[in-house]
């Protein structure tokens, strides 16, 4: 069991003033059997109420609306967490065994699933090794629209792409698994890994660091793929381009 403090900051800047900005901020970690949260504080600038709702996957979402003209929006959440090295016991919806828009497998990618039998967690680790042998870690070559098949063809990507690839391979064998977005110790951006279902529990597997996701992994969102875990979604009135920057930090206490 480990204890951490964490901070996540999101800054959105507009090229011209906008108004009637309605948004959904999906970065509010929840407590469950493996992680307990307390002291959570969410702040928005411009100031607005941030009521919490749950999405279809059970993730907590803060919903906000800024009516007045503004050229920037800043959101910050901070808190403490105790994380245990304990898989999550849960029922598994059938949808997690089916390919999603970003995790469809075909051709060479589907062939990676050949011979993956036996224990689902062992199969996931073998699949992660196969993915890692082909797809090197490289920033800037993929984005949030990149599919697993495209990352495989490129032979490069980041943690999001490796998670999508692992999901594609597992789902090709009808092994249920889900995408996880969260934090690990350090500074930078969010991290992504996979939770594979062993028949009773979801067990975390990190295909980027090639290990099980233990008590240093703070889960924020879960879903079929990264689209279900998007940190920010919104609409606004105004003819403006937007840019976004993020900063995340998690440190032991």
Selection from 228, 222, 135, 211 nearest residue 182 by Cα: 222
Measured over the CA atoms of residue 11, residue 14, residue 18 and residue 24, the dihedral's sign is negative
Start-to-end C-alpha separation, the chain: 12
Rounded mean pLDDT, 58-85: 96
- What tens digit of pLDDT does each residue of 127-166 get? 999 999 999 999 999 999 999 999 999 999 999 999 999 9
Distance CA 181, CA 159 (A): 10
Structure tokens at 19: 């108004």
Q: Tell me the pLDDT band of 117, cut-offs 50, 70 and 90.
A: confident
Distance CA 230, CA 25 (A): 9
CA–chain centroid gap for 161, Å, is 11
Distance CA 150, CA 17 (A): 36
Strand (E) or helix (H) holding 119: none
Q: Can you say whether residue 20 is alpha, beta or left, with left for phi > 0 and alpha for psi between -120 and 50 degrees?
A: left
What is the SS3 assignment for 226?
helix
- 3-state SS of 159-184 is HHHHHHHHHHHHHHCCCCEEEEEEEC
Distance CA 196, CA 121 (A): 6
What are the two backbone dihedrals, phi and then psi, of residue 223, each rounded to the nearest 5 degrees? 180, -170
Distance CA 115, CA 98 (A): 19
Model's pTM, two decimal places?
0.94
Distance CA 113, CA 111 (A): 5
pLDDT at 118: 81
What are the two backbone dihedrals, phi and then psi, of residue 84, each rounded to the nearest 5 degrees? -110, 150
- What tens digit of pLDDT does each residue of 28-51 get? 999 998 999 999 999 999 999 999
Cα distances (Å, whole numbers) of residue 108 to 41, 105, 114, 134, 168: 46, 8, 10, 11, 12
- Residue 65: pLDDT above 90? yes
Rounded mean pLDDT, 175-198: 96
What are the two backbone dihedrals, phi and then psi, of residue 135, each rounded to the nearest 5 degrees? -105, 110
Q: Tell me the pLDDT band of 179, cut-offs 50, 70 and 90.
A: very high
Q: Can you say whether residue 188 is alpha, beta or left, with left for phi > 0 and alpha for psi between -120 and 50 degrees?
A: left
Distance CA 179, CA 172 (A): 15
Structure tokens at 177: 């698994």
Rounded mean pLDDT, 189-201: 95
Structure tokens at 74: 């800043």
């Amino acid at each position: 069991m480990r204890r951490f403090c964490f901070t996540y900051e999101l800054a959105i800047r507009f090229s011209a003033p906008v108004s009637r900005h309605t948004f959904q901020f999906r970065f509010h970690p929840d407590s469950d059997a493996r992680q307990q949260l307390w002291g959570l504080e969410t702040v928005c600038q411009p100031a607005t109420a941030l009521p919490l709702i749950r999405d279809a996957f059970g993730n907590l979402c803060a919903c906000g609306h800024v009516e007045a003209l503004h050229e920037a929006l800043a959101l910050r959440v901070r808190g403490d967490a105790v994380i245990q090295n304990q898989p999550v016991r849960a029922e598994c919806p059938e949808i997690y065994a089916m390919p999603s828009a970003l995790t469809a497998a075909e051709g060479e990618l589907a062939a990676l699933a050949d011979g993956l039998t036996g224990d689902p967690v062992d199969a996931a680790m073998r699949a992660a090794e196969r993915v890692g042998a082909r797809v090197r870690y490289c920033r800037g070559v993929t984005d949030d629209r990149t599919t697993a098949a495209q990352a495989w063809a490129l032979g490069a990507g980041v943690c999001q792409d490796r998670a999508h690839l692992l999901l594609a391979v597992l789902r090709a064998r009808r092994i249920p698994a889900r995408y996880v977005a969260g934090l690990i110790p350090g500074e930078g951006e969010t991290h992504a890994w996979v939770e594979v279902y062993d028949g009773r529990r979801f067990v975390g597997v990190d295909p980027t660091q090639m290990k099980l996701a233990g008590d240093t992994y703070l889960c924020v969102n879960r879903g079929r793929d990264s689209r279900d875990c998007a940190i920010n979604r919104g609409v606004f009135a105004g003819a403006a381009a937007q840019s976004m920057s993020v900063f995340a930090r998690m440190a032991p206490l």
